[in-house]
């Protein structure tokens, strides 16, 4: 069974390249220039062409692919389409468009289940359709979650969700610690290390890199080795 995430990743890269170059490219060109597997590139391009996401231009030197104008416009027909769209297309959608698409998928899933219960769909077709819709739903939910996570963080002390723009937690009222290296706030989930001499905290990877070149605490300036750091 093909790796779904790998397929989506390569598909996204191909579309990004076609968008940036803004000119027709062949499967050979894409695979040679960017060191992709020709077989995989060809298969993905054919799939994208059949879905209307890219256009295939037949020429004497072979088939060339390019992005149609409607891809950029993200017209209503594509938004309401029943077909699964490439991952990069979802990334370009606004939050409202993502929610609209999500509602469309949930409605379709409900219809598929009803058709299966009425025996209008066979088991094989049912499970295939459900899997496709769930995969699409997973992509959309992940993008939505990623966007939310950029706006919110978890308090380092009480682990409650807080606005990333606030330096003080609205729940425990504590001020977020600041990395002694990068000077940015430290939130829950980050690896945190501290100086055993002054207690200065920092993102683990930042402090380790600092000690490799400086060899002393960024705050108290005392000589410090990585093995002596305290895990917070």
Q: Write out pLDDT tens, residues 3-17.
A: 445 666 778 788 877
For 4-72, CATH number? 1.10.10.10
What are the extents of the domains in the chain?
4-72, 93-150, 177-232
- Taking only the tens place, the pLDDT of each residue in 148-196 is 767 778 899 999 988 877 889 989 999 999 988 888 889 888 899 999 9
CB 55, CB 48: distance < 8 Å: no
Q: What angle do CA 79, 80, 84 make, to 5 degrees?
A: 75
Please report the beta strands in the chain, taking only residues with DSSP state E, as ranges in sequence order: 25-26, 55-59, 62-66, 152-154, 161-163, 192-194, 201-203, 230-231
Burial of 192 (0-12, 13-18, 19+ CB in 10 A): buried
Low-confidence ranges of the chain (pLDDT < 50): 1-4, 70-76
Provide the token pair at 134: 């769930």
Report the distance separating Cα 49 and Cα 217, nearest Å: 57
What per-residue confidence (pLDDT) applies to 99? Answer: 87
Q: Which residues of 90-107 are buried (b: 16+ CB within 10 A; e: fewer)?
A: beebeeeebeebeebbee
Q: Which CATH number fits domain 177-232: 1.20.120.420, 3.30.710.10, 3.40.50.300, 3.30.40.10?
A: 3.30.40.10
Reference 8, options 91, 70, 73; nearest CA is: 91
Global pTM reads 0.41
């Amino acid at each position: 069974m093909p790796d779904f995430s790998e397929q989506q990743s390569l598909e996204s890269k191909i579309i990004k390249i076609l968008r940036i170059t803004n000119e027709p490219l062949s499967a050979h060109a894409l695979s040679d220039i960017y060191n992709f597997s020709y077989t995989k590139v060809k298969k993905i391009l054919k799939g994208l062409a059949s879905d209307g996401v890219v256009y295939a231009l037949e020429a004497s030197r072979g088939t060339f692919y390019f992005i149609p104008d409607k891809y950029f416009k993200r017209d209503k027909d594509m938004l309401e389409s029943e077909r699964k769209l490439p991952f990069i297309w979802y990334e370009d959608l606004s939050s409202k468009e993502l929610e609209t698409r999500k509602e469309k998928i949930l409605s379709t899933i409900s219809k598929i289940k009803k058709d299966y219960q009425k025996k209008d769909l066979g088991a094989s077709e049912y499970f295939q359709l459900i899997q496709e819709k769930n995969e699409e739903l997973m992509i959309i939910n992940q993008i939505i979650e990623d966007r939310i996570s950029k706006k919110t963080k978890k308090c380092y002390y009480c682990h409650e969700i807080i606005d990333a723009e606030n330096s003080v937690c609205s729940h425990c009222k504590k001020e977020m610690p600041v990395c002694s290296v990068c000077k940015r706030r430290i939130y829950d989930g980050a690896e945190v290390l501290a100086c055993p001499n002054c207690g200065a905290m920092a993102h683990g990877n930042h402090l380790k890199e600092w000690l490799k070149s400086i060899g002393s605490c960024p705050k108290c300036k005392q000589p410090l080795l990585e093995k002596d750091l305290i895990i917070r």
